[in-house]
Amino acid sequence: MAFATSRLLVRTRAHSAIMKNRNDSIIRASTVLLKSQQFSTNNDPIRDKTVHMTSSRGVNVLHDPLLSKGTAFSIDERERLAIRGLVPPRCQEMDKQILRVKHNLDICETPLSKFIFLAALQDRNETLFYKLLIEHLEELAGIIYTPTVGLASQRSHSIYRRPRGMYFSSQDRGNMSAMVYNWPQDEVDVIVVTDGSRVLGLGDLGANGMQIPIGKLSLYVAAGGIRPRAVLPVVLDVGTNNEALLNDPLYLGMGHPRLEGDDYYAFVEEWITAIMTRWPSNVSNIITIHVLIQFEDFKYPHAYNLLNKYRDRITCFNDDIQSTSAITLAGILASLKARGLAQEDLSNERIICVGAGSAGVGVCEGIIDCMVDQGKVKTREEAYRRIYMLDQNGLLGNSAVSAGDKSRVMQGPERPKGSLDERQLCYVKSDLPDRMNLEDLIEEVKPTVLLGLTGIGGVFSEKAIRTMAQHNEKPVIFPLSNPDTHAECTAEQAFKWTDGKAIFASGSPFKDVKLPNGKIGRTNQCNNSYSFPGIGLGVVTSKASRVSPEMFLEAAKAIADIATPSQLKEGILFPGVSQLRHVSNKVATRVCEVAYQQGLTTKKLKEGEVLADLVRDSMYDPEYVPLVNHHHMA
Ligand SMILES: O=C([O-])CC(=O)C(=O)O
Ligand SMILES: [Mg+2]
């Protein structure tokens, strides 16, 4: 493949370009980082690190979560930042602080109370929050991210404490280009934005959807090494159609039905224009300040329409369509190896995808891209024949659309219910009974892989899964909807109904299952958290101007290559969530290579510089650095 042959050359060029970028970004940073030895930092516990220059003093330092160290300020710092006497006398090191916060977290009785505790910690001291998160990533990802973030989103208005991120609402139309200057950071690397219209598999949660960008960006920092001060969570509050929220006096979003049609797209356009003015992306190859926009949890078909509208204009991607696709493809590729097959056998698979929304269609497009890339199918049409897609009415068949009738291919609410758009149309199977149900379809086509992207808990019936097991030595069962309560089946069910033969992956975490024969049924978390942090890190590090489909394809291959043969044999497809930083590093390196290969960045690399090292070195590590006040310097 082309990427492989030129990788060496790309490495050297890419590296020097990125070094220059880093220097540029350090110089233009509003808060300047300098070597500590250049200043008198007498008795500072931390030497040989950078210092952080700030214009803040006194309580403003203590109450800024990006600056605060809680009880860890040194005597020197207390003096020069005018906080002497404002904190308890003992200077405590971070490991002691970690002991305290972990203990306080452990005595929280419910996942939701842990969520609230962690949010409060993040609002007090981000460095400590990220240290704790990284040290206990596997345990805490399930709190700040799926599944608990789902519950926190549903309750967001009643557990509200402090604001985080930015809200743009229907009453802000005409003002967004001024509002963006209310955000205090001049440098933003990643924005995650949602309109709250399809929060995980939970549907329309309006402005409560804010918890999702916050959670995703926490993973961007913890797993992807993006700097905490360079992330911005955003909600576009265009109203909600959720009656319960509209009638709830505590709800904090706009109390009207969603804007749709032209009003909706004009709203998003105004927001994008405001963002691009405040943090311009690449302008005709002259790379200026750069921001990556991740669209998150937009309902179908808005998710696709926005992606298609902006993907060639700005640096953006849609997480549910593209990163879910990358990780699911990685799971299927790894499962081929786990079944003793080669990754190149993908085109021989028969795949059923239950769910035809943004995630379902996105996942299948990624699989098709890979089949075409492997060259075993001649055309995309041939690849489409390997995938059977169902929506809530069964197999996509003739009745939903009289094939070729483009007049029915419409977007948005105007589209007649039950009809398909041009993306879903590709999967219509005219040679099978129309609207066949899942069980009959499995019996008929004997699929090797069963994917669930419906958002509806329990749609994989016992009969469906048992039939999968009849036809496969190792049936691949991926109930991918989030959170766990919306998974198409549980891990217990998948292993029980396949007599322990399943290769299992879910969107939200499930515990391994003890099988009656004493063996362990291994569960895998096939969640886009394996892909988006690394893709973002790669784009930010390489300063790529666009996020290309090849980046997702290469990310999938990189992730599929991580599990060892013995892990694969046991049914382990990915390393555990505790290894996310390692996975992100690998993904980001591959993404950088693609960026250089495709000419999506113009920065030069120095001779001999290695891209993988550069990615690793650019990752944020939560450690306290000495704080110095501008006035003190003068
Ligand atoms: O957030 C997650 O766990 C995965 C995701 O993007 C979704 O389900 O919408
Ligand atoms: Mg999502």
Beta bridge partners of 317: 294
Whether 374 has a pLDDT exceeding 60, the answer reads: yes
Q: Any bridge partners for residue 473, and if so which?
A: none
216 part of the active site: yes
Does residue 252 contact residue 211 with C-beta atoms inside 8 Å? no
* pLDDT score of 282: 54
Residues 6+ apart with CB under 8 A from 440: 433
Query: Cα(109)–Cα(320) distance, rounded to whole angstroms?
Result: 31
Q: Which residues contact 617 (CB under 8 A, 6 or more apart)?
A: none
Please report, in range form, the residues annotated as the binding site for a divalent metal cation: 296-297, 320
- The chain-wide mean pLDDT, for the chain, equals 89
Per-residue pLDDT, averaged over 303-313, amounts to 96
Structure tokens at 115: 């969520």
Cα–Cα distance measured from residue 471 to residue 488, given in angstroms and rounded to the nearest whole number? 20
ipTM of the complex: 0.97
Q: Which ligand is nearest to the CA of 532?
A: 1
| Residue among 131, 130, 296, 268 at smallest CA distance from 211 | 296
Indicate the SS3 state at residue 580: helix
Phi, psi of 35 (to 5 degrees): -65, 135
CB atoms within 10 A of CB 129: 25
Distance (angstroms) between ligand 2 centre and the Cα of 201 equals 9
Which tokens hold the place of 361?
A: 């269609």
Find the range with the poorest average confidence among 27-36, 304-313, 344-353.
27-36
Evaluate the omega torsion of the peptide bond into residue 301 and state whether it is cis, within 30 degrees of 0: yes
Chain position carrying tokens 């069910």: 493
Residue 130: its H or E element: helix 126-135
d(CA 164, CA 218): 12
- Alpha-carbon distance of 533 to 556, in angstroms, equals 13
Q: Is the CB of 146 under 6 A from ligand 1?
A: yes
Tokens for 489, please give them.
């089946």
Closest ligand 1 atom to Cα of 199: 9
Distances, alpha carbon 268 to alpha carbons 88, 171, 215, 414, 561, in Å: 47, 13, 22, 19, 38
User: How far is ligand 2, taken at its centre, from the CA of residue 493, in Å?
Assistant: 25
Residue 399 is predicted with a pLDDT of 77
Report pLDDT for 608.
85
Judged by its nearest atom, the ligand closest to the C-alpha of residue 193 is 2
Q: Which residues are CB-contacts of 322 (< 8 A; sequence separation ≥ 6)?
A: 307, 362, 366, 547, 549, 552
Burial class of residue 94, CB neighbours in 10 A (0-12, 13-18, 19+): buried
Q: Report the distance separating Cα 75 and Cα 89, nearest Å.
A: 9
Tokens of 349: 């698979």
Specify the range with the lowest mean pLDDT, choosing from 154-168, 228-242, 420-434.
420-434
With a 6 Å cutoff on the Cβ, whether 217 touches ligand 1 is no
- pLDDT at 37 > cutoff 60: no
pLDDT band at 278 (very low <50, low <70, confident <90, very high): very high
Q: Which two tokens stand for residue 453?
A: 């992207």
- Verify whether ligand 1 is closer than 6 Å to residue 153 (CB atom): no
What average pLDDT does this structure show over 303-315? Answer: 95
Cα–Cα distances in Å, from 326 out to 363, 368, 516, 535, 617? 7, 12, 34, 10, 25
Where is the binding site, in residues? Answer: 198, 296-297, 320, 482, 527
CA of 527 to the centre of ligand 2 (A): 9
Is the CB of 507 within 6 Å of ligand 1? yes
The residue to mutate among 197, 527, 531, 577, having the most atoms of ligand 1 within 8 angstroms of its beta carbon, is 527
pLDDT of res. 4? 38
Choice between 48 and 576, residue whose per-residue pLDDT is larger: 576
pLDDT given for residue 607 in this prediction: 83
Ligand 1 in reach of 148 Cβ (< 6 A): no
Structure tokens at 457: 């808990």
Asked whether residue 174 carries a pLDDT value surpassing 90, the answer given is yes
Q: Ligand 1 in contact with 421 (CB < 6 A)? A: no
Q: Is the CB of 601 under 6 A from ligand 1?
A: no
Name the residue at shortest CA distance from atom 2 of ligand 1. 146
Question: Does residue 36 have its Cβ closer than 6 Å to ligand 1?
Answer: no
The letter for the amino acid at 629 is: N
The atom number, within ligand 1, closest to the CA of 320 reads 6
Atom of ligand 1 lying closest to residue 201 CA: 8
**In the annotation, is 586 catalytic?**
no
> Cis peptide leading into 111, omega within 30 of 0?
no
d(CA 349, CA 367): 10
Contacts of 606 (CB under 8 A, 6+ apart): 12, 15, 16, 19
Residues whose CB is less than 8 angstroms from the CB of residue 128 and which lie 6 or more positions away in sequence, other chains included: 69, 70, 94, 97, 98, 101, 121, 622
Beta strands, E only, 166-250: 166-169, 190-194, 231-237
297 within ligand 1 shell (Cβ under 6 A): yes
Using most ligand atoms within 8 A of CB, pick from 528, 529, 531, 580 the residue to mutate for ligand 1: 528
Q: Give, using CA atoms, the residue closest to atom 8 of ligand 1.
A: 200
Q: In this predicted structure, what is the pLDDT of residue 604?
A: 74
Ligand 1 lined by 528 (C-beta under 6 Å)? yes
299, 197 in Cβ contact below 8 A? yes
DSSP run (H or E) holding 629? strand 627-629
Model confidence at 44, pLDDT cuts 50, 70, 90, reads: very low
The closest ligand to the CA of 508 turns out to be 1
Residue 286 has what pLDDT? Answer: 52
Give the ligand whose atoms come closest to the C-alpha of residue 325: 1
Distances (CA, A) of 277 to 176, 228, 271: 11, 22, 10
- Ligand lying closest to the C-alpha of residue 455: 1
3-state helix, strand, coil in the chain (%, to 5): 50, 10, 40
Cα gap 443→439, rounded to integer Å: 6
Assigned token pair, 539: 């784009």
Write the DSSP string, 525-554.
Answer: E--GGGTHHHHHHHHHHHT-SS--HHHHHH
Helix (H) or strand (E) holding 128: helix 126-135
Judged against a pLDDT cut of 70, whether residue 609 lies above it is answered with: yes
Stretch 255-281: mean pLDDT = 95
Whole-number Å distance between alpha carbons of 307 and 5: 31
What was the pLDDT predicted at 302? 96
- Catalytic pick from 114, 216, 557, 603? 216
Among 106, 207, 223, which residue's Cα sits nearest to residue 164? 207
In this predicted model, what pLDDT tens digit does every residue of 483-513 receive, in sequence order? 999 999 999 999 999 999 999 999 999 999 9
Mean pLDDT of 121-141: 98
Spell out the residues 6+ positions from residue 262 whose beta carbon is closer than 8 angstroms to its own.
Answer: none
Q: 324 C-alpha vs ligand 2 centroid, how far in Å?
A: 8
The DSSP letter of residue 284 is T
* pLDDT surpasses 70 at 30: no
- 148 exposed, middle or buried (CB, 10 Å; 0-12, 13-18, 19+)? buried
Report the percentage of the chain scoring pLDDT > 90.
Answer: 83
Helical residues (DSSP H) of 561-598, grouped into ranges: 565-570, 580-597
Quick one: which of 218, 211, 212 has its CA closest to 158?
211
Mean pLDDT of 397-414: 52
Distance from Cα 34 to the centre of ligand 2, integer Å: 38
Task: Report the atom number in ligand 1 closest to the C-alpha of 507.
Answer: 3
In whole angstroms, what separates CA 382 from the centre of its chain? 31
| Least confident stretch, 14-28, 169-183, 229-243, 453-467 | 14-28
Give distance in angstroms: CA of 320 to centre of ligand 2.
Answer: 5
Ligand 1 centre to CA of 200 (Å) is: 5
pLDDT at 35 over 60: no
With a pLDDT cut of 70, the percent of the chain lying above it is 87
| CB of 319 closer than 6 angstroms to any ligand 1 atom | yes
Pocket lining: 484 vs ligand 1, CB cutoff 6 Å: no
Catalytic residue among 130, 145, 388, 596: 145
508 Cα: distance to centroid of ligand 1 (angstroms):
8
The strand pairing partners of 318, in sequence order, are: 295
Task: Output the pLDDT for position 633.
Answer: 55
**H-run or E-run covering 633:** helix 630-633
Cis peptide leading into residue 483 (ω within 30°): yes
CA of 518 to the centre of ligand 1 (A): 33
Mean pLDDT in residue range 418-437? 90
* Burial of 66 per CB tally in 10 Å (0-12, 13-18, 19+): middle
Nearest residue CA, atom 9 of ligand 1?
200
Stretch (H or E) spanning 219: helix 211-222
Q: What is the mean pLDDT of residues 421-447?
A: 95
